[in-house]
Amino acid sequence: MCGIVGFSGVRPAAPVLLDGLKKLEYRGYDSAGIAIMGDAGISVNKVTGRIANLCEKTHDGADVPGFTGVGHTRWATHGAPTEENAHPHLSNDGRFAIVHNGIIENYIALREELIKDGFTFQSETDTEVIVHLLEKYYKGNVRDALIKTTNRLRGSYALGVICTEQPEKIFAVRESSPLIIGVGVEENYFASDVTALVAYTRNAIYMDDGEYAELTKDAVKVFDCTGSEIKKEVTRITWDVQAAEKGGYEHFMLKEIMEQPAAIKATIAPRLKDGNIFFEEFDISADELKKIRKIVITACGSAYYAGCSGKYALEKLCHIPVEVELASELRYSDPLIDKHTLLIVISQSGETADTIAAMKECKERGAKTLAIVNVVGSSIAKLADYTLYTWAGPEIAVATTKGFTTQLAVLYLLALSFAEKLECITEEEYTKYMGELHTLPRHIQQAIDMNSKIPKLAKKYHKSSSLFFIGRNTDYAVALEGALKMKEISYLHAEAYAAGELKHGTIALIEDHQPVVALCCNPSIMEKTLSNIVEVKARGAEVLALTFRNNQKILSTADDFLFIPNVDAVFSAAIEIIPLQLLAYYVAKENGCDIDKPKNLAKSVTVE
Known catalytic residues are 2, 603
* Dihedral (Cα; 158, 164, 167, 169), 10-degree rounding: -20
As measured in angstroms, the least distance from the Cβ of 282 to ligand BG6 is 19
Question: Is-contact 215 188, C-beta < 8 A?
Answer: yes
Question: Is-contact 335 361, C-beta < 8 A?
Answer: yes
Instruction: State the Cα–Cα distance between residues 131 and 121, nearest whole angstrom.
Output: 10
Report the candidate in 484, 66, 543 with the shortest Cα–Cα distance to residue 306: 484
* Dihedral (Cα; 547, 495, 531, 560), 10-degree rounding: -40
Instruction: State the Cα–Cα distance between residues 482 and 496, nearest whole angstrom.
Output: 8
As measured in angstroms, the least distance from the Cβ of 218 to ligand BG6 is 48
CB-wise, 8 or 349, nearer to ligand BG6?
Answer: 349
As measured in angstroms, the least distance from the Cβ of 403 to ligand BG6 is 6
Beta bridge partners of 215: 170, 220
As measured in angstroms, the least distance from the Cβ of 358 to ligand BG6 is 11
Neighbours of 559 (CB within 10 A): 14
Question: Is-contact 129 107, C-beta < 8 A?
Answer: yes
CA atoms within 13 A on the CB side of 557: 23
CB-wise, 16 or 398, nearer to ligand BG6?
Answer: 398
357 residue type, one letter: A
Instruction: State the Cα–Cα distance between residues 72 and 99, nearest whole angstrom.
Output: 6
CB-wise, 379 or 551, nearer to ligand BG6?
Answer: 379
As measured in angstroms, the least distance from the Cβ of 48 to ligand BG6 is 21
As measured in angstroms, the least distance from the Cβ of 256 to ligand BG6 is 11
CB-wise, 313 or 398, nearer to ligand BG6?
Answer: 398
Report the candidate in 441, 448, 468, 439 with the shortest Cα–Cα distance to residue 541: 468
∠238-239-242 over CA atoms, to 5°?
Answer: 160
Which residue sits closest to ligand BG6, CB atoms considered?
Answer: 301
Q: Are strands 187-191 and 322-326 parallel, antiparallel or unpaired?
A: unpaired
* C-alpha distance across the termini of the chain, in Å: 30
CB-wise, 539 or 603, nearer to ligand BG6?
Answer: 603
As measured in angstroms, the least distance from the Cβ of 603 to ligand BG6 is 6
As measured in angstroms, the least distance from the Cβ of 299 to ligand BG6 is 6
Q: Cβ contacts of residue 592 below 8 Å, gap of 6+? A: none
Q: How far is CA 375 from the centre of its chain?
A: 10
CB-wise, 150 or 302, nearer to ligand BG6?
Answer: 302
CB-wise, 20 or 598, nearer to ligand BG6?
Answer: 598
Q: How far is CA 60 from the centre of its chain?
A: 31
CB-wise, 347 or 417, nearer to ligand BG6?
Answer: 347
CB-wise, 301 or 377, nearer to ligand BG6?
Answer: 301
Report the candidate in 290, 297, 329, 330 with the shortest Cα–Cα distance to residue 311: 297
Question: Is-contact 18 68, C-beta < 8 A?
Answer: no
Instruction: State the Cα–Cα distance between residues 220 and 183, nearest whole angstrom.
Output: 8
As measured in angstroms, the least distance from the Cβ of 473 to ligand BG6 is 22
Residues that bind ligand BG6 (CB under 6 A): 300-303, 347-349, 352, 355, 398-400, 601-605
Handedness of CA 434, 1, 66, 45 (dihedral sign): negative
